[in-house]
Amino acid sequence: MTQVLGIDIGGTGIKGAPVDVAKGVLTAERVKLATPHPATPDAVSGVVSELVKGLGWTGAIGVTFPGVVAAGEIRTAANLDHDWIGVNAQELFARTTGQPVTVINDADAAGIAEIRFGAGVGHRGTVLMLTLGTGIGSALFIDGTLVPNTEFGHIEIRGKDAEKRASELVREEHDLSWGKWAGRVDEYLLHMEALLSPDLIIIGGGISKKSGKFLPLLTGLRAPVVPAATLNDAGIVGAAMAAQAHA
């Protein structure tokens, strides 16, 4: 069995677990440490290496990051400290953990897991995965191949970044009713559908656990909208899958 440690860096928690990459399942209970604030490169890499050491892990590690990641380098960090921009996170984490590390955008990681093991299994054509959490992340697949770093959470709706209107965090912070928030999600999804004509839309992120509360309230979309099947572990599993080449 090939195992890789997957780590998912989010706005509130840094979660990790070893993953059986052939099956897409966690092989041990996941560990969650709080995301430090401010979430600077030094502080976050400190928590990541604490997590790795705590698990006694040696070997390949995949890490997600909530921003654009190109060849390990962070290009944007909308919801983490801006000091990350220009930092090669892959090199930083490899140095602090002493292990080979692969870094990938968080939504891309979740999408990879969903396409291979979750709600995207067997779906060809254009599949759009959106994660609704602290921000809105996106992963676009054409016949199973990822188009990385799509950043559709920053599409402008009513003069604002879509994630500032329709993320899970916004729902909580503004105490929006499910109906009101679902209306915003609906408007956003209709916009994305007009741009991309996806064959399937998968909703992931923290909110996927509560999909029963808002998916039935969506109207007028042609594409089926389904919750992620791997729920909150998709980031961990996808990060491990991305790092598989080094295992």
Chain residues that interact with ligand BGC, rule: CB under 6 A: 66-68, 76, 78-79, 105-107, 131, 133-135, 137, 151, 153, 163
- Which residue, 21 or 107, is less far from ligand BGC as judged by CB? 107
- Which residue, 107 or 182, is less far from ligand BGC as judged by CB? 107
Least distance CB 37 / ligand BGC (angstroms): 16
| Rounded-to-integer distance, Cα 57 and Cα 97, Å | 9
Least distance CB 93 / ligand BGC (angstroms): 17
The residues, ordered by sequence, that sit 6+ positions from 171 with a Cβ below 8 Å of its Cβ are 181
| Rounded-to-integer distance, Cα 110 and Cα 176, Å | 26
Least distance CB 98 / ligand BGC (angstroms): 27
Alpha-carbon dihedral sign for residues 170, 172, 177, 179 = positive
CB 181 within 8 A of CB 171: yes
Residues paired with 33 in a beta bridge: 14
Q: How far is CA 56 from CA 59, 92, 246, in A?
A: 10, 19, 18
- Which residue, 2 or 12, is less far from ligand BGC as judged by CB? 12
